[in-house]
Structures are given as structure tokens and as C-alpha cells.
């Protein structure tokens, strides 16, 4: 059913947590909550004349955005898109991508968030698996009807009047297909429900005291810089949160560029820049940071995993307005959003700590060792329905295996200490690469570090440490780095091979260290020690 919408409907975002049923099993959930993603568009109407989107010389207000969403939705309807149909979005961050995302939801369709860095082979394989009815992309996709993003850009910029219509969507209906960001094998399509997307935002906004119905009408939302891809979980969170809080979303006009990040912070008075550690490190090392006015930046939320204290200290030194606001979110696509969160004050001084579980989430440690470390398991009402073609994400009791190693202290704080899948097994000893990386990052002249398992005929696997030296910094000797490691690591964790370099380490499409590529590059050269700095 599709209903014409002319007036906003009061939507209550409550804080009371009750016991309910999700996926046929008991679960915590918020008693008062929105039930569909497209209801966010109604919330946004209160901010009508304020700016919402900025990219290059293009600017859209909230009212402009709603009309553009209506125009694109009308175009999609002409292609037969209706309730429950899957529509693939395959493109880089852009205003037309953002508008199209909301147009898909306005129709009650399912947004399939493809990765534009995929190879043609991967696109072919994943389209066949997910089976979208339509693809919105400038790439050639032979198995499905296609509308180019360039065509949609023209429609977005036309300014023609159009009336928004919203589908009546069930809370349990599908909303989004997101793909895991693993570096091995074909990406997994994770089917996420309306309940999951809404619940994720309820968690995020609740912990920052910014639930929409708690904001005054004269509230001035945050100007956020979007440097992470919109097609990943963090991008969806920022996109939705901005719309709900009357904020402004500033996008890079092209690929990630530290100089452009600094220019936008200065010119748009950016207050929040959600990023990943690698991006932040590159900005901190850029020479423009000494000449740009970056005093507006008040928050640098970092996601993905625990952030080294050394990086937090550098952020606080360079961005003085941030101070203790360098918080942490821990979650993954498979859990439908954050499982735990912590403020800067809770995190600083506690290496590997990421925070406490959120009100409706549960966290436990599976098969802990004598130190309490084991695989982190999460249970949440926001869990996705399934991995397409592979079955449910969670086990019969609702628990999801994260693939991360961690522990929980006596105060209830969660620590992420490494990846179960990135364990190096050296002569029968299990070694967490993250532990060695954190030790190396303590060195004042080290900008980045990546530790991987290299094949060894005797040990099975040996420890390889690739170390990136800061621009202009003196190169530490191997003895100096080894001494640092001996100070913080067990003997069996000591690196066997070193790659000392000035060049950045290879990254995945969202800026995480691409360990698969690093191993391939290294083993292709024999896996020995190299001094290139």
C-alpha cells in the first residue's frame, strides 16, 4: 500500500526498554519506537529551509531534498519498483546517491548497497545472488535493468515540484542489503530489516542524547563530514543521523584527499568528522594542517575497533576543541550496528577498551582462556535476518559470532584485543597481530604498522611486521624497534621479519589495512626483511 503524505506524523522515540520477541526468541527492545525507515523523512520536515547536503558547488536544503526524493521515486515507480523490490545502488558518495537511497525507502523497496570498487566479475556474481529488480549505477550491469546515476543527478538538480508519497511498511520487512567488508572471498550480502535500521539509529541517537522528539525546534544540528563510504554501515548511520537531527552533511567531491578534508573542515565549519584511524593519521601528517583553521572540529568518532591511545593523544593535540570527545563505537554489519560504545573519558588510558554494551544489546565472551579472552559474541534486536544464500546470521539462541577476540572487565567494559581470523600460529603459539601493532605504534616515529602471518617451512607461520615511518622522521633501527617490542610483548610475539618503509600500507575500500594484499606483496618478494625508508 502506498499513501500520499502531506503532514508529519508524531513519532515517539522512547528510552524505556522492555522484553519483546524478535526472530522468534525473547529480546530487549525500546517500547516506543518508529517502525519503518521511510518515517525518517517525516521527521526531517521540521528542518525545511536548513541546508542538508553539500558537495562541491551543489547545495540542497531539507525541502529541496524531499522534492528530489519524490522526483526520483516517481522515476523508479515508472520502472515498476514497488514494495519489497530490491534496488541496487552502485556508486561513490554523491548527492544523487543519497537522494536515491531515500527514494528507494519511500517506496518501501530494499536498498542493495553495492561497492563501486567491485570487479566486473564480483558485480556479476553478486547481482546473480541478490537478484535486484533495478540497478542505479553508471557502470554496465548486463543482468538487470539500469538507470544511470548521471541521469538521476539531472533529475535531482531539476528543481521541479513533486509530492512525496510513502509506502506503508511492516517493521519486519526488509530494508537494506549490506555487504561484509572482508578481504577474502566473495562479499556476503546481509539482509537487514526495517527494525534493524531503526533500532540501530535509536541506539546511536539515544546514547548521544539526541533522540528527535527530545530536540527543541530551534536546535541546530551538527555539520558532519562524510569521508567514509555511504554503502557501509557507518555511512548509513551518519546519513540517517544527520537527517533526523537537522544537521548538514558535507561530502568529498572525489576520492579521499587529506588536503580536501582540511579545506572542508575550515570552510564548512565541520564539527564532527567520523572516520577510521588510517584516514585520521593521513590528515594529521598532511602539511596543510598547520595553516588551516580547524578550530570548529569538536568530535572525531572512530569506529571499527579499539583505537590506540597514541592516536587519540595526537588527535587531541592537533584538534584542541575535540579534547575528550574521541569516543568509540564497536559493532559490525553482521550485528546491525553498534554493540558497545564509550566516551573519550571512558576510553582514554585503557588500551583496547571500546565501551559498555548498549541498553538493548548483550555481549559475552565465548570459550575464554585463563585471562578471560575469547571470541566476542553479541545479541541484539537489531540483528539482520540472514546472509543471502547462507542462512541466519545468529544461532538458535540469538547470539552472533563477531570473529573478534576480546574480554570484559569487572566494571562491564568490553575490550577488543584482536581478530580471531587474524591469529598468527607460530610454532603452535597463537599470536594476536593487533597486540604487536599497538606496541609498534607506541614509537614516536612510527605512523602506521601492519602485522601479518608469513609462511615459514619450520614454524608454519612467522610474524611479519610492516612499519611506516612518519614523513621527515628519523628511521629507527631494527634493534630499537625490537627493544620496544620486548618491552610490551611476549618472546614468541616478537616479529621475525620486518618491512621498514615510507610508503603507506595497502588499504581496503573503507580504509582498513588490507592484510591480504600486504601478505601477497611481501611473500612475492620472498618474505624477508626489507629496509626501504
| 518 and 477 in a common domain | yes
Mean pLDDT of the region 6-31: 80
| 448 and 510 in a common domain | yes
Q: 360 or 85: whose pLDDT is higher?
A: 85
Whether residue 68 lies inside any domain: the answer is no
Q: Name the domain boundary from 391, 417, 443.
A: 417
Q: 333 or 298: whose pLDDT is higher?
A: 298
Whether residue 440 lies inside any domain: the answer is yes
> What pLDDT, on a 0 to 100 scale, did the predictor assign at position 47?
94
The grid coordinates listed for 533 are: 625508508
Q: What is the 3-state secondary structure (H, E, C) of 325-389?
A: CCCEEEEEHHHCEEEEEECHHHHCCCCCEEEEECCCCEEEEECCCCCCCEEEEEECCCCCCEECC
Query: Which band of pLDDT confidence, cut at 50, 70 and 90, is reported for residue 386?
Result: confident
Whether residue 139 lies inside any domain: the answer is no
Neighbours of 234 (CB within 10 A): 24
Query: Which band of pLDDT confidence, cut at 50, 70 and 90, is reported for residue 463?
Result: very high
User: What is d(CA 85, CA 110) in angstroms, rounded to the nearest whole number?
Assistant: 6
User: What is d(CA 192, CA 384) in angstroms, rounded to the nearest whole number?
Assistant: 4
| 451 and 525 in a common domain | yes
Query: 474: which DSSP letter?
Result: P
Residue 1 reports pLDDT greater than 50:
no
Whether residue 381 lies inside any domain: the answer is yes
| 432 and 409 in a common domain | no
Whether residue 263 lies inside any domain: the answer is no
| 399 and 476 in a common domain | no
> What pLDDT, on a 0 to 100 scale, did the predictor assign at position 531?
85
CATH number of the domain residue 398 falls in? 2.30.38.10
| 479 and 519 in a common domain | yes
Whether residue 400 lies inside any domain: the answer is yes
Please, are residues 470 and 445 in contact by the beta-carbon 8 Å criterion?
A: yes
| 469 and 409 in a common domain | no
Domain that holds residue 462: 427-531
Whether residue 59 lies inside any domain: the answer is no
Q: Name the domain boundary from 392, 417, 442.
A: 417
Burial 393-417 (b: 16+ CB within 10 A, else e): bbeeebbbebebbbbbeeeebbbbb
- In angstroms, the first-to-last Cα distance of the chain is 63
Q: Name the domain boundary from 387, 417, 447.
A: 417
CATH number of the domain residue 436 falls in? 3.30.300.30
Average pLDDT taken over every residue of the chain:
88
498 Cβ contact list (under 8 Å, min separation 6): 464, 465, 466, 467, 478, 481, 529, 530, 531
Mean pLDDT of the region 454-481: 91
| 397 and 457 in a common domain | no
User: What is d(CA 316, CA 324) in angstroms, rounded to the nearest whole number?
Assistant: 7
User: What is d(CA 99, CA 76) in angstroms, rounded to the nearest whole number?
Assistant: 12
User: What is d(CA 333, CA 465) in angstroms, rounded to the nearest whole number?
Assistant: 28
Mean pLDDT of the region 153-180: 94
Query: Among 507, 504, 511, which Cα is nearest to 532's?
Result: 504
Taking the CA atoms of 188, 193, 195 and 198 in sequence, report the sign of the dihedral they define: positive
- Cα–Cα separations (whole angstroms), residue 435 to 329, 353, 489, 516: 19, 13, 8, 18
- Cα–Cα separations (whole angstroms), residue 25 to 123, 194, 354, 381, 386: 35, 18, 28, 10, 15
Contacts made by residues 239-244, CB under 8 angstroms, sequence distance 24+ = 239/98, 239/101, 240/37, 240/40, 240/197, 240/201, 241/201, 241/204, 241/205, 241/210, 242/52, 243/40, 243/41, 243/43, 243/44, 243/52, 243/102, 244/40, 244/43, 244/44, 244/201, 244/205, 244/212
User: What is d(CA 306, CA 325) in angstroms, rounded to the nearest whole number?
Assistant: 15
Please, are residues 327 and 341 in contact by the beta-carbon 8 Å criterion?
A: yes
> What pLDDT, on a 0 to 100 scale, did the predictor assign at position 134?
98
Neighbours of 472 (CB within 10 A): 9
321-343 pLDDT, tens per residue? 886 556 677 888 788 888 998 88
Residue 15 reports pLDDT greater than 90:
yes
Query: Which band of pLDDT confidence, cut at 50, 70 and 90, is reported for residue 183?
Result: very low
| 438 and 411 in a common domain | no
Mean pLDDT of the region 248-258: 92
Round the CA-based radius of gyration of the chain to a whole number and report it: 23
Report the number of distinct structural domains present in the chain.
2
Amino acid at each position: 500500500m502506498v499513501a500520499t503524505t502531506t503532514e508529519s506524523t508524531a513519532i515517539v522515540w522512547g528510552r524505556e526498554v522492555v522484553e519483546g520477541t524478535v526472530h522468534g526468541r525473547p529480546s530487549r527492545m525500546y517500547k516506543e519506537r518508529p517502525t519503518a525507515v521511510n518515517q525518517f523523512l517525516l521527521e526531517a520536515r521540521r528542518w525545511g529551509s536548513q541546508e542538508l547536503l553539500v558537495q562541491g558547488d551543489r547545495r540542497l536544503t531539507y525541502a529541496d531534498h524531499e522534492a528530489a526524493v519524490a522526483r526520483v521515486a516517481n522515476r523508479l515507480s515508472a520502472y515498476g519498483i514497488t514494495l519489497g523490490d530490491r534496488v541496487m545502488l552502485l556508486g561513490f558518495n554523491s548527492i544523487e546517491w543519497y537522494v536515491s537511497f531515500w527514494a528507494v525507502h519511500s517506496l518501501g523497496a530494499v536498498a542493495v548497497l553495492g561497492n563501486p570498487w567491485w570487479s566486473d566479475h564480483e558485480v556479476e556474481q553478486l547481482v546473480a545472488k541478490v537478484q535486484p529488480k533495478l540497478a542505479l549505477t553508471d557502470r554496465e550491469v548486463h543482468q538487470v535493468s539500469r538507470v544511470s546515476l548521471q541521469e538521476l543527478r539531472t533529475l535531482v538538480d531539476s528543481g521541479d515540484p513533486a509530492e512525496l508519497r510513502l509506502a506503508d511498511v511492516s517493521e519486519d520487512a526488509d530494508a537494506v542489503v549490506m555487504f561484509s567488508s572482508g578481504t577474502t572471498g566473495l562479499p556476503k550480502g546481509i539482509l537487514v530489516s526495517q527494525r534493524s535500521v531503526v533500532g540501530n539509529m535509536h541506539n546511536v541517537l539515544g546514547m548521544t542524547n539526541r533522540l528527535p522528539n527530545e530536540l527543541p525546534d530551534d536546535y541546530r544540528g551538527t555539520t558532519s563530514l562524510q569521508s567514509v563510504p555511504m554503502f557501509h554501515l557507518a555511512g548509513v548511520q551518519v546519513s540517517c543521523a544527520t537527517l533526523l537531527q537537522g544537521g548538514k552533511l558535507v561530502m568529498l567531491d572525489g576520492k579521499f584527499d587529506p588536503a580536501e578534508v582540511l579545506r572542508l573542515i575550515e570552510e564548512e565549519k565541520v564539527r564532527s568528522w567520523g572516520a577510521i584511524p588510517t584516514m585520521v593519521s593521513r590528515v594529521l601528517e598532511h602539511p596543510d594542517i598547520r595553516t588551516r583553521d580547524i578550530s570548529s572540529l569538536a568530535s572525531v568518532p572512530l569506529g571499527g575497533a579499539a583505537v590506540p591511545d597514541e592516536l587519540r593523544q595526537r588527535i587531541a593535540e592537533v584538534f584542541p576543541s575535540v579534547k575528550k570527545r574521541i569516543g568509540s563505537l564497536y559493532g559490525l554489519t553482521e550485528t546491525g550496528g553498534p554493540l558497545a560504545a564509550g566516551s573519550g573519558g571512558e576510553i582514554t588510558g585503557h588500551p583496547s577498551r571500546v565501551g559498555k554494551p548498549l541498553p538493548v544489546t548483550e555481549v559475552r565472551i565465548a570459550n575464554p582462556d585463563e585471562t578471560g579472552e575469547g571470541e566476542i559474541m553479541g545479541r541484539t534486536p537489531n540483528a539482520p535476518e540472514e546472509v543471502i544464500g547462507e542462512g541466519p546470521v545468529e544461532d538458535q539462541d540469538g547470539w552472533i559470532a563477531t570473529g573478534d577476540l576480546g574480554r570484559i572487565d569487572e566494571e562491564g567494559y568490553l575490550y577488543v584485543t584482536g581478530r580471531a581470523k587474524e591469529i598468527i600460529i607460530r610454532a603452535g603459539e597463537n599470536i594476536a597481530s593487533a597486540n604487536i601493532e599497538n606496541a609498534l605504534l607506541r614509537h614516536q616515529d612510527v605512523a602506521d604498522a601492519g602485522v601479518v602471518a608469513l609462511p615459514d617451512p619450520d614454524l608454519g607461520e612467522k610474524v611479519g611486521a610492516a612499519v611506516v615511518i612518519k614523513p621527515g622522521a628519523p628511521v629507527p633501527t631494527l634493534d630499537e624497534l625490537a627493544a620496544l617490542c620486548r618491552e610490551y610483548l611476549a618472546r614468541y610475539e616478537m616479529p621475525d621479519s620486518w618491512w621498514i618503509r615510507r610508503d603507506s600500507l595497502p588499504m581496503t575500500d573503507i580504509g582498513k589495512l588490507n592484510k591480504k594484499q600486504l601478505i601477497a606483496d611481501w611473500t612475492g618478494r620472498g618474505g624477508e626483511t626489507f629496509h626501504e625508508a
